[in-house]
Amino acid sequence: MKKKNRIPFNRLDYLYHRHEDEYNQAALSALCSGWYILGPELETFEKEFACYIGSSYCVGVNSGLDALTLSLRVLGIGEGDEVIVQANTYIATVLAITENRAIPVFVEPDEFHGIDASKIEAAITSKTKAIMIVHLYGQSCDMEPIVAISKQTGIPLIEDCAQSHGSTYQGKMTGSFGIMGCFSFYPTKNLGAFGDAGAIVTNDAELADKLRTLRNYGSKIKYQNETKGVNSRLDEIQAALLQVRLKYLEEIIAERERIAQSYLAGIDNPAVRLPKIRRGARHTWHLFVVQCDKRVELQAWPEDSGIQTQIHYPIPPHLSKAYSDLGYSKGSFPITERLADTVLSLPLYCGMTSDEINYVINAVNGYRP
Question: 323-357: per-residue pLDDT in tens?
Answer: 999 999 999 999 999 999 999 999 999 999 999 99
Neighbours of 43 (CB within 10 A): 14
Confidence of residue 93 (pLDDT cuts 50, 70, 90): very high
- At 303 the pLDDT is 86
Protein fold of 249-365: Aspartate Aminotransferase, domain 1 (3.90.1150)
With a cut of 70, say whether residue 316 has pLDDT above it: yes
Mean of pLDDT over the chain: 97
The whole-angstrom separation of Cα 290 and Cα 295 is 10
- At 1 the pLDDT is 42
With a cut of 60, say whether residue 3 has pLDDT above it: no
Asked whether the beta carbons of 203 and 51 are under 8 A apart, the reply is no
Q: What is the CATH code of the structural domain delimited by 14-247?
A: 3.40.640.10
Confidence of residue 4 (pLDDT cuts 50, 70, 90): low
Domain ranges of the chain: 14-247, 249-365
With a cut of 60, say whether residue 2 has pLDDT above it: no
Task: Name the nearest CA neighbour of 272 among 355, 367, 182, 352.
Answer: 367
pLDDT in tens, 202-213: 999 999 999 999
Asked whether the beta carbons of 109 and 135 are under 8 A apart, the reply is no
Neighbours of 307 (CB within 10 A): 22
Instruction: Give just the sign of the alpha carbon dihedral 148, 151, 155, 161.
Output: positive
pLDDT in tens, 277-291: 999 999 999 999 999
- At 67 the pLDDT is 98
Give 132's DSSP letter. E
- At 304 the pLDDT is 86
Model pTM? 0.97
pLDDT in tens, 296-314: 999 999 888 899 999 999 9
Torsion, CA 45, CA 47, CA 51, CA 55, rounded to 10: 120
The whole-angstrom separation of Cα 212 and Cα 216 is 7
